[in-house]
Amino acid sequence: QCPASKSMGGKGCGGEQIEESCRSLSLTGHVGFDSSPDQLVNKSINQGFCFNILCIGETGIGKSTLIDTLFNTHFDDRVANHFQPNVRLKAQTYDLHESNVRLKLTIVNTVGFGDQINKEDSYQPIVDYIDAQFEAYLQEELKIKRSLYSYHDTRIHVCLYFISPTGHSLKTLDLLTMKNLDSKVNIIPVIGKADTISKTELQKFKIKLMSELVSNGVQIYQFPTDDETISKINATMNGHLPFAVVGSLEEVKVGNKMVKARQYPWGIVQVENEHHCDFVKLREMLICTNMEDLREQTHTRHYELYRRCKLEEMGFRDTGPENKPVSVQETYEAKRHEFFGELQRKEEEMRQTFVQRVKEKEAILKEAERDLQAKFEHLKRLHQEERMKLEEKRKLLEDEMIVFSKRKAATELLQAQAFASTPTVSLKKDKDRKKDPGFRLEILCFDVKNQETDQEQREREKLERERFTHREFQK
Amino acid sequence: MSKASKAETDAAMSDLVPEPRQKPVVPMKPVSINSNLLGYIGIDTIIEQMRKKTMKTGFDFNIMVVGQSGLGKSTLVNTLFKSQVSRKSSGWNREEKIPKTVEIKAIGHVIEEGGVKMKLTVIDTPGFGDQINNENCWEPIEKYINEQYEKFLKEEVNIARKKRIPDTRVHCCLYFISPTGHSLRPLDLEFMKHLSKVVNIIPVIAKADTMTLEEKIEFKQRVRKELEVNGIEFYPQKEFDEDLEDKTENDKIRQESMPFAVVGSDKEYQVNGKRVLGRKTPWGIIEVENLNHCEFALLRDFVIRTHLQDLKEVTHNIHYETYRAKRLNDNGGLPPMTVETEENHESNP
């Protein structure tokens, strides 16, 4: 029987409705769409894969060595010192090829983690980095013209947290950091430099660690057990967490083979020997079995959570105040109006403040001008007074000179008369008398005049200068 | 203003403008280094992981068939998917009313082959080109396609998104050309012109058993020429060829095989000891899957076996993105703010 078809013009099957009205058909021959997974896989191979690992752990706990060992390559030779002022993150991307698979591997290391005296801010740069990668992806997704299929995905897919092999318990810093990261990234805890713990101690240590994590509510990554082919092995591996790892790229001869190992005077720790450490398990789980699941979890769980929180923070809602679904369009337009309003208000504010400041400045300048003007007037007055005084003095002097000349003329007359009568009058004395005071007087007069002009000149220059600067101010 | 006071106003302004935010001290652009691998790591197992994941989630495929009634659309779809996917319409009875507009009928089926589950939706468009006046009969179809994009966009833009957004977008549209032997009809050109921009169109020549081989080749050439002259880009579009390999492969298909001249049938006959799908005529049996008789096998391989995923990707990455960009741009172009709006806004708490 044919299923009922919806024949309303323009309306097709809804998403949920189609599940009910869908019926299973049996094929009478080979159609060929079983090649669809292959087509999809081929496309992905052409595009290449991205995988991003974040390693958190104290300096010197063996992060770089472990990564080198996992991927069989020397990545970065530089060793960090213990005197970093704060925690930094260092990221490097590598292009790896294996058969026809191209992998873009990004390794992010924490530099200086656990080295500071005050470790309160140690985990914050890590959280910020992870959020920044989510933010970059969200921005790309929200763009109008976007290209998601060629986007280089930098979101962290897995975080390897290195625990110090103390043998006792988790450090407070470890708990704090993991608690802050467990909702943002898949955490796989590993015990670094595990060759410093004996087997029995290791068992107790692992149990203690896991119970501490559980009692503090830290959600570490659980290997998925829903696929029958891998559920068994994943479940077993879940019981071996945290993995006790040893890393080494150096090869040592054991038996008749060269194996990756660390050579001690008392023996050789083989990296790939499952009795010695859990390195093989880690590699198996991380790369061979669950890489795709890690990527998927990051995208569908952690990223979606971040996105939801971020959008809610920005004020977007799926349902309006009356619980009616609000379209993003409406929210967006409302936000835009609001934003423009804010912008205009802020502009007005700024303009007002600016106008205010300018007024104040103008007032100050006017004050200064007035002061200057007052000073100028004052100086002018002084100058006038001085001048007048000098004029008076000059007048006095001139009067005196006139008087003196009169007296001189008179005495000369007298002398001439006297000379006419007595020719032996001491001319010298008169001459001397004439010369000295007269000359002195003239010199005096001359000097006073000079003094006057000099002083006047100086005063005038001073006033000119002041007038000039005042004019500049006015401009 | 004198220089001194200008400097002072600058200083006053800088007090108002806040300092730019410091950039975060995290590395944003990693450096690429090529490395050689020593020994096997196991990265290539990701292929298997991915394959397993896709087989578990299954596939959606939505195919639309457009063409005048009687061109064999339903038969062809049934032949393609080797099952009774579409119900054949027996034509309009005199008593039934011919629909005034084009209807859109979408029927979904779940088919499984080789462990792969596919949810197939066939979208039929009865009434297309059947009226006396067929002006704008492509509009309901265009509307339907855009509605599916809109549905997807709404889901994508939600705050709390579904893990897997149901995909009802039309991935492929088979357009049936009447085998007149002359050229394309104006309706054909109009439809394809409008819709080649929103959906992948694959033109097929229906009922190709009415043409001889020479007529077929000539007709195909003429159709190709006409499509080119009218600027109609059918799938696979030239501009979306990713690399040289794709280009050469697609060029061959574009310039030689397309449009596929097909014959459909769901009846089996005995030919040379084998049971084959075919049409029995007085002058012989036309074998549907025989490449000498018609190009059905080419169409089937093209749509299902090689380009199924690509059809979906072009729909998602290009047609859907174009729709989304246009939609978001329309939203962004708000009218200029008037005084009333400002006042209204100011009064809002």
Low-confidence ranges of chain A (pLDDT < 50): 1-20, 322-324, 425-426, 434-449
The confidence score (pLDDT) of residue A376 equals 94
- CB proximity A145 to B under 8 Å: yes
Q: B27 and A332 in contact by Cβ < 8 A?
A: no
Q: B15-19, B243-247, B344-348: lowest mean pLDDT where? A: B344-348
With respect to residue B167, please indicate whether it lies within any of the assigned structural domains.
Answer: yes
Beta strand segments in chain B, E? 31-34, 59-66, 105-113, 116-124, 172-177, 201-205, 260-261, 268-271, 274-281, 284-287
Provide the Cα torsion B44, B45, B49, B55; round to 10°. 80
Tokens (6 digits) for A108? 């992010």
**Which DSSP symbol is given to A317?**
-
Residues of A in contact with B297 (CB under 8 A): none
Residues of A in contact with B49 (CB under 8 A): 289-293
Task: For residue B213, give how far its alpha carbon lies from the nearest alpha carbon of chain A (Å).
Answer: 27
With respect to residue B278, please indicate whether it lies within any of the assigned structural domains.
Answer: no
CATH of the domain at B184: 3.40.50.300
Q: B2 and A95 in contact by Cβ < 8 A?
A: no
pLDDT tops 80 at residue B35: no
With respect to residue B30, please indicate whether it lies within any of the assigned structural domains.
Answer: no
Mean pLDDT (chain A, rounded):
80
Q: Quote the CA–CA distance of B206 and A72 in Å, as a whole number.
A: 58
Q: Which of A28, A37, A93 is opposite residue B55, by nearest beta carbon?
A: A37
Q: A24 and B109 in contact by Cβ < 8 A?
A: yes
Q: Scan for tokens 């934003």, then name that residue.
A: A339
Grade residue B132 by pLDDT with cuts at 50, 70 and 90.
confident
Chain A's closest residue to B166, CA to CA, is A15
Q: Quote the CA–CA distance of A458 and A454 in Å, as a whole number.
A: 6
Residues of B in contact with A146 (CB under 8 A): 321
Beta strand segments in A175-242, E? 187-191
Q: B38 and A5 in contact by Cβ < 8 A?
A: no
Number of H helices, E strands in chain B: 11, 10
Q: A89 and B341 in contact by Cβ < 8 A?
A: no
Q: Which of B103, B317, B332 is opposite residue A9, by nearest beta carbon?
A: B103
Q: Quote the CA–CA distance of A463 and B48 in Å, as a whole number.
A: 96
Residues of A in contact with B147 (CB under 8 A): 10-12
Q: A3 and B47 in contact by Cβ < 8 A?
A: no
Instruction: Give the best residue of B113, B121, B296 to mutate against chain A (max A CB count within 10 A).
Output: B113
Task: For residue B267, give how far its alpha carbon lies from the nearest alpha carbon of chain A (Å).
Answer: 11
pTM: 0.69
The confidence score (pLDDT) of residue A6 equals 33
Q: B168 and A13 in contact by Cβ < 8 A?
A: yes
- CB proximity A468 to B under 8 Å: no
Q: Which of B16, B47, B306 is opposite residue A41, by nearest beta carbon?
A: B47
Task: For residue B181, give how far its alpha carbon lies from the nearest alpha carbon of chain A (Å).
Answer: 30
Q: B337 and A93 in contact by Cβ < 8 A?
A: no
Residues contacting B328, CB < 8 A, separation 6+: A144
| pLDDT (average), residues B154-160 | 82
Q: Are B178 and B73 in contact (CB under 8 A)?
A: no
Q: Are A403 and A437 in contact (CB under 8 A)?
A: no
The answer to whether the peptide bond before residue A242 is cis (omega within 30 degrees of 0) is yes
| pLDDT (average), residues B172-187 | 87
Q: Are B175 and B192 in contact (CB under 8 A)?
A: yes
A residues 52..71 contacting B (CB < 8 A)? 70-71
The confidence score (pLDDT) of residue A90 equals 83
Q: What percent of chain B has pLDDT over 90?
A: 7
Tokens (6 digits) for A129? 């980095």
Task: For residue B187, give how far its alpha carbon lies from the nearest alpha carbon of chain A (Å).
Answer: 20
A residues 382..401 contacting B (CB < 8 A)? none
Residues of B in contact with A72 (CB under 8 A): 37-39, 41
Q: A301-310, B143-152, B214-223, B340-349: lowest mean pLDDT where? A: B340-349
**C-alpha closest to that of B106 among B53, B46, B151:** B151
**C-alpha closest to that of B291 among B265, B272, B263:** B263
Could you tell me the residue ranges of all domains in chain A?
43-314, 327-401
Distances (CA, A) of A317 to A151, A340, B74, B322: 27, 20, 44, 25
The confidence score (pLDDT) of residue A112 equals 83
Residues of B in contact with A71 (CB under 8 A): 35, 37, 41
For CA atoms A245, A247, A252, A258, the dihedral sign is positive
Task: For residue B324, give how far its alpha carbon lies from the nearest alpha carbon of chain A (Å).
Answer: 7
Residues of B in contact with A280 (CB under 8 A): none
A residues 312..351 contacting B (CB < 8 A)? 312, 316-318, 327-329, 332-333, 336-338, 340-341, 344, 350
Q: A287 and B334 in contact by Cβ < 8 A?
A: no
**b/e map of A55-78 (b: 16 or more CB within 10 Å)?**
bbbbbbbbbbbbbbbbbbbebeee
The confidence score (pLDDT) of residue A350 equals 93
Neighbours of B272 (CB within 10 A): 6
Indicate the number of domains in chain B: 1
Neighbours of A296 (CB within 10 A): 17
**Which DSSP symbol is given to B36?**
-
Q: B33 and A94 in contact by Cβ < 8 A?
A: yes
β partners of residue A129? none
CATH of A43-314 given 1.10.3720.10, 3.40.50.300, 1.20.1600.10, 3.40.640.10: 3.40.50.300
Q: Which of B41, B109, B154 is opposite residue A23, by nearest beta carbon?
A: B109
The confidence score (pLDDT) of residue A454 equals 67
Q: Are A304 and B155 in contact (CB under 8 A)?
A: no
Instruction: Give the best residue of A36, A67, A98, A140 to mutate against chain B (max B CB count within 10 A).
Output: A36
- Complex-level ipTM: 0.74
Tokens (6 digits) for B312? 């979906």
- CB proximity A100 to B under 8 Å: yes
Number of H helices, E strands in chain A: 13, 10
Instruction: Give the best residue of B33, B36, B107 to mutate against chain A (max A CB count within 10 A).
Output: B107
CA angle B134, B295, B298 (to 5 degrees): 105
Neighbours of A465 (CB within 10 A): 10
Look at chain A and count its residues. Answer: 475
Grade residue B87 by pLDDT with cuts at 50, 70 and 90.
low
Q: A338 and B345 in contact by Cβ < 8 A?
A: yes
- CB proximity A138 to B under 8 Å: no
- CB proximity A229 to B under 8 Å: yes
Q: What is the pLDDT of residues A365-392, one digit of tens each?
A: 999 999 999 999 999 999 999 999 999 9
The confidence score (pLDDT) of residue B340 equals 31
Q: Quote the CA–CA distance of B261 and A225 in Å, as a whole number.
A: 49
Q: Quote the CA–CA distance of B266 and A455 in Å, as a whole number.
A: 126
Residues contacting B254, CB < 8 A, separation 6+: B236, B238
Task: For residue A47, give how far its alpha carbon lies from the nearest alpha carbon of chain B (Å).
Answer: 10
Q: Are A214 and A186 in contact (CB under 8 A)?
A: no
Residues contacting A373, CB < 8 A, separation 6+: A470
The confidence score (pLDDT) of residue A9 equals 33
Q: What is the pLDDT of residues B229-277, one digit of tens each?
A: 888 888 888 777 777 777 787 787 777 788 888 888 878 888 888 888 8
